[in-house]
Structure 1
Amino acid sequence: MIEVNQLTKRYGRHPVVDDVSFACEPGTVTGFLGPNGAGKSTTMRMICGLTPPTTGSATVLGRPYRNLPNPGREIGVLLDASAQHGGRTGREVLTLSARTLGVGRNAVDRSLDLVGLNPTAARRRVRAYSLGMRQRLGLAHALLGDPRVLILDEPANGLDPEGIFWMRGLLRDFADRGGAVLLSSHLLREVEAVADRLVMIGGGRIVAQGDKAELLAGAGTLVRARDRAALATALVAAGLLPADEAGAASDTDGGLLVPAEAEAVGQVAATAGIVLRELRPAGGGGLEQLFLTLTAGQSTKEAVR
């Protein structure tokens, strides 16, 4: 339902997104993960036609977003919950959008009920909404046209634990009915609970993607040594670590994520006379450990343009 093919975005010589490719299938929730400044929001904006790519392409339901005759009826988008008119009520915001999309008033009532905004909240002006209420209104707006695809950037920001649990059920139900969800979030445990597939981005490039269970089960070996550079050189020479990943595949404490069994990694270190501080399967820490291992060392500074 979403196909991203070699998307690249540069500002001058600075690549924000570099050769990114992935797909979101019907009936799945795809977690789109990466540190701040990794290129997640820029990728989502390119998918939605808001930012033109330097090279590459993105299609939703087989077409570029801008070529869809009435995109809100096909794709629900929430990129910034604060981008709403503060002087209008929640109901007014949705009613205006319903007229634009060509859907009836019953769609407004359905969306408000679906996201848990009662009549009192719907009559309140958006400027008086909490961040959590704005997120619910943004989700109501995304669902207004009864779309088949949802593209959501940090939709859980501002939600309390009960709200996060509710949103998880909402997204799971949407996917189970045949929809596709592309979900960006820093709440890794929630993504782990709801996602079927994972796409991880660091420094503008994909560092891992695939079925969640397979990624977590086959994360490889986490190894830390007194001399990290010597270990990386030995692993590259032994063919256990690609040369172009020797500098990037690190965690926050100078370790290396190696796509090989622990025994093989330990043997290379022993042969090279390298003292190890830690050697263990990388998947034991769940998504959080995998995320930190794959994306650490990437720039965490937001680009200012």
Structure 2
Amino acid sequence: MISVEHLSKRYGRHAAVDDVSFRCEPGTVTGFLGPNGAGKSTTLRMICGLTPPTAGGATVDGRPYRQLANPGREVGVLLDASAQHAGRTGREALAVAAYTMGVDRREVGAKLEQVGLDAAAAKRRVRAYSLGMRQRLGLALALLGDPRVLILDEPANGLDPEGIFWMRGLLRDFADRGGTVLLSSHLLREVEAVADRLVVIGGGRIVAQGDKTELLAGGGTIVRARDVAALRRALDAAGLAVADAADGLVVRADGEAVGQAAVDAGVALTELRPAGGGLEQLFLTLTAAESTKEADQ
């Protein structure tokens, strides 16, 4: 579990991070979102003990990162895929990390295989890696110590669509096995697909956080069916508030509740989606509101 309590970081008069608090629970993926300069990377660096906070603190399983006896065995971190020794091969980079953490060297090959770096790639110098290959190597390093927590900053940068889909499955599987994932990414559709919870930061402050379904349900759900009358009766019977919209019916409930009402009534749906445009629209609305506040100050 990751716990962030009233975390702040000031550089002179500028507050890069201002009283940020949130928790990441085991068995979940938390999407950490915000525009450039919002304070995401600074927050992650403070959690990992790389940047000292001005106020507040952060713990992993109840302890500050710097107090962990063998951090790599408890927390897998990928903050910068380029922060690797360019002269080493991929296999050498993992072997050094395995020795440092006291991990069986047989895990080196297993982790390279897990992230999709074959024998030829493992023998190449890191300087010859593409950005996508460096991301995969960084993930292998993060996973090497079999940690219970992953902290990842833009891990999908440089990956092709197949690689992004692969990463989504890897993170989902990690969380489903009881792990804790804190994921910062600009790829909003991928975050929406994999995250359980969302934390949105703007101007160094938390502007929204909570269960993904609840946050995205704020604008309701758009639903359509060939038999509109039957659909409306089903929604009315379920006690859900319904209104007409240009592209269907808008329901003041989340998609799961709307879909269940349709299933119970035997109504086949042709469309079911968040009325607000999904995570992308939520993100733009929240961060735009924060930018307006800053401009007014």
TM-score (norm 2): 0.79
Alignment partner of 2:277: what SS?
Answer: helix
Which residue of structure 2 lines up, in the alignment, with residue 99 of structure 1?
Answer: 99
Q: For residues 159-203 of structure 1, what are the alpha-carbon distances to aligned partners after superposition, in whole Å with 9 as ceiling and x for unaligned?
A: 000000000000000000000000000000000000000000000
1:121 counterpart residue number: 121
Contact (CA 8 Å) 1:219, 1:290: kept in 2 or not?
Answer: no
Residues 207, 290 of structure 2: 8 Å contact kept: no
Question: Could you report, residue by residue, the CA deviation over 1:12-60 in whole angstroms, capped at 9, with x for unpaired residues?
Answer: 1100000000000000000000000000000000000000000001000
One-letter identity of the residue aligned with 2:201: I
Matching residue within 273, 287, 294 for 2:279: 287
Query: Which residue pairs with 1:38 in the alignment?
Result: 38
Amino acid at match of 2:49: G
Aligned partner of 1:168: which letter?
A: R
Shift, 1:219, TM fit: 4.6
Query: What is the Cα deviation at residue 80 of structure 1?
Result: 0.1
Runs (5+) with no aligned partner, structure 2: 221-251, 253-273, 292-297
Q: Which position in structure 2 is the counterpart of 1:246? A: none
Aligned 1:50-61 pairs, distance under 5 A: 50-61=50-61
CA distance in 1, matches of 2:71, 2:83: 18
CA 1:169 to 1:178, structure 2 compared with 1: closer, same or farther past 3 Å?
same
Contact 1:6 1:56 in 2 (8 A): yes
Unpaired runs of 5+ in structure 1? 221-259, 261-281, 300-305
Name the structure 2 match of 1:172. Answer: 172
How far apart in 2 are the matches of 1:91 and 1:72? 17
* Match among 280, 288, 297 for residue 296 of structure 1: 288
Separation in 1, partners of 2:190, 2:65: 28
Match of 1:189 in 2: 189
Rounded Cα–Cα distance in structure 1 between residues aligned with 2:122 and 2:2: 32
Q: How far apart are residue 78 of structure 1 and its match?
A: 0.1
Deviation per CA, 1:208-230: give whole Å up to 9, x if none.
0000000000158xxxxxxxxxx
Contact 1:18 1:204 in 2 (8 A): yes
Alpha-carbon deviation of 1:283?
4.6
Amino acid of the structure 2 residue aligned with 1:69: A
CA distance in 2, matches of 1:147, 1:107: 13
Moved over 6 A (4+): none
Deviation at 1:7, TM superposition (A): 0.2
CA distance in 2, matches of 1:297, 1:189: 21
Which letter does structure 2 place at the counterpart of 1:150?
A: L
Q: Conserved in 2, the CA contact under 8 Å of 1:154 and 1:185?
A: yes
CA distance in 2, matches of 1:298, 1:155: 26
- Per-residue deviation at 1:63? 0.2
Q: Give the counterpart letter for 1:291 in structure 2.
A: F
Question: 1: CA distance between counterparts of 2:48 and 2:208?
Answer: 23
1:283–1:289: 8 Å Cα contact kept in structure 2? no
Aligned partner of 1:200 in structure 2 is 200
Q: Structure 1 CA distance, aligned partners of 2:208 and 2:188?
A: 15
Residue 57 of structure 1 aligns to a residue in which SS?
Answer: strand
SS at match of 1:87: coil
**Secondary structure, aligned partner of 1:76:** strand
| Alignment TM-score, normalising by the size of structure 1 | 0.77
Contact 1:27 1:178 in 2 (8 A): yes
Work out the number of aligned pairs and report it: 242
Q: How large is the Cα RMSD of the aligned pairs?
A: 1.8
Matched to 1:287, the amino acid is: L
Determine the structure 2 residue equivalent to 1:49: 49
Alpha-carbon deviation of 1:287? 0.1
Counterpart contact for 2:28–2:175, Cα < 8 Å: yes
| Distance in 2 (alpha carbons) for counterparts of 1:74 and 1:109 | 20
Distance 1:144 1:86 in 2: 19
- Cα shift at 1:298: 4.9
Would you say the 8 A contact 2:40–2:201 is kept in 1? yes
- Counterpart-to-counterpart distance in 2, 1:87 and 1:110: 22
Partner of 2:209: 209
Do 1:283 and 1:290's aligned partners in 2 also have CA atoms closer than 8 Å? no
